[in-house]
């Protein structure tokens, strides 16, 4: 459980709203369980789940973030699971007696969680869908950075809304302040983890190549003055990348495979010029 969720439970207990927090906890757990089931359908192993008041984060052993065809499906299952609970509640209402206040809270909590998570910002589910779209044309690092910055912008707006509520003594808006702080921290962590996730992906690429044996190929053209870091930002997993090296006149001087580029990365670092990589010369 994220510390913010524990804080939420403590505040709810102090205000006599503990049972509402428990219901919210159950809804979040359901939301994340559906993410896990969707990931398991693709054979992805979940290592842990971090519960947050607006949802949670399911961490996978496999590199889900680097497979856009799968990431958006696993992401969108979360909000859809909350919509399914809304439909289930409305369908059962004619046959069972529910306390009006509890029923209203249940419906509002599920709708709120679903709609909030559909916002196209990281670390929300909508942000993962956005990243899976952007990564096809902008690469993983840039796509993650853009979606995370949108998350930070949204969190800043929420913080301002909470401060505005305090100024006007509208304390029902104060929750926006805590939500904004929590969202900013999560978006920042998502952005910081992007490089770590990508490096883990690169280091496992050789083993993946041996296991899968057949890959779709993406061609990238880079001049001899391009750095390894600039080339890596153009990578679009799960494709295998072939890098065509051009001189400053636009002539092809050689070609590098993805695994060769990874070896150069670990040996020389991101700033290493691809022109000094002694690519295979064409006769």
What pLDDT tens digit does each residue of the chain (283 aa) get? Answer: 777 777 777 777 777 777 888 888 889 889 988 988 998 888 777 777 777 766 667 666 555 555 777 888 988 999 999 999 999 999 988 888 888 888 999 999 999 989 989 989 888 899 889 988 887 777 677 788 888 888 888 888 888 887 877 777 665 566 677 777 778 877 887 777 776 766 666 667 777 777 777 888 889 999 989 988 888 878 877 788 899 999 888 888 888 888 888 778 767 777 888 888 755 544 4
Token pair of 61, please? Answer: 């052993």
- For residue range 220-267, what is the model confidence (pLDDT) as tens digits? 999 989 988 888 878 877 788 899 999 888 888 888 888 888 778 767
Could you tell me how many residues make up the chain? 283
Q: What is the pLDDT of residue 174?
A: 63
Half-sphere exposure of residue 145, counting CA atoms within 13 Å on the CB side? 8
Q: What is the pLDDT of residue 219?
A: 92
- Before 131, cis peptide (omega within 30)? no
Q: What is the pLDDT of residue 88?
A: 94
CB count within 10 Å of CB 35 equals 25
| 240 within 8 A of 258, measured Cβ to Cβ | yes
C-alpha to C-alpha distance for 46 and 76, rounded to whole angstroms: 17
H/E element holding 84? helix 68-92
C-alpha 50 chain-centroid distance: 13
In angstroms, what CA-CA distances link 89 with 85, 169, 174?
6, 35, 29
Q: What is the pLDDT of residue 172?
A: 59
Strands 55-60 and 46-52, sheet pairing? antiparallel
Q: Report the phi/psi class of residue 143: left, alpha or beta, with left for phi > 0 and alpha for psi in -120 to 50.
A: alpha
Catalytic residue, from 32, 71, 190, 258: name it.
Answer: 32
CB count within 10 Å of CB 69 equals 10
Three-class secondary structure of residue 47 per DSSP: strand
Token pair of 104, please? Answer: 């209203």
Q: Is the pTM of this model over 0.85?
A: no
Q: What is the pLDDT of residue 283?
A: 41
Q: What is the pLDDT of residue 230?
A: 85
Q: What is the pLDDT of residue 66?
A: 59
Is position 32 annotated as part of the catalytic site? yes
Q: What is the pLDDT of residue 97?
A: 84
C-alpha to C-alpha distance for 3 and 15, rounded to whole angstroms: 18
């Amino acid at each position: 459980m994220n510390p913010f969720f524990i804080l939420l439970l403590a505040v709810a207990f102090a205000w006599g709203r503990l049972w509402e927090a428990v219901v919210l906890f159950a809804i979040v757990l359901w939301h994340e369980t559906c993410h896990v089931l969707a990931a398991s359908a693709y054979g992805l192993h979940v290592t842990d789940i971090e519960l947050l008041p607006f949802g949670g984060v399911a961490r996978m052993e496999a590199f889900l973030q680097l497979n856009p065809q799968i990431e958006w499906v696993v992401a969108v299952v979360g909000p859809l699971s909350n919509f399914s609970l809304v439909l289930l509640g409305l369908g059962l209402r004619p046959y069972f007696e529910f306390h009006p206040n509890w029923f209203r809270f249940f419906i509002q909590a599920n709708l709120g969680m679903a709609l909030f998570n559909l916002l196209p910002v990281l670390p929300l589910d909508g942000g993962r869908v956005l990243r899976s779209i952007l990564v096809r044309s902008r690469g993983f690092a840039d796509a993650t950075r853009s979606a995370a910055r949108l998350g930070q912008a949204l969190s800043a707006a929420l913080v301002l809304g909470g401060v505005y509520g305090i100024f006007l003594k509208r304390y029902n808006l104060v929750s926006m302040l805590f939500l904004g702080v929590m969202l900013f921290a999560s978006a920042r962590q998502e952005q910081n983890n992007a490089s770590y996730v990508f490096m883990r992906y690169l280091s496992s690429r050789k083993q993946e190549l041996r296991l899968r044996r057949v890959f779709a190929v993406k061609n990238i053209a880079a001049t001899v003055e391009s750095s390894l870091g600039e080339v890596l930002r153009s990578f679009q997993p799960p494709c295998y990348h072939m890098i065509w090296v051009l001189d400053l006149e636009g002539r092809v001087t050689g070609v590098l495979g993805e695994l060769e580029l990874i070896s150069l990365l670990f040996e020389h670092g991101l700033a290493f010029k691809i022109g000094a990589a002694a690519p295979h010369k064409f006769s």
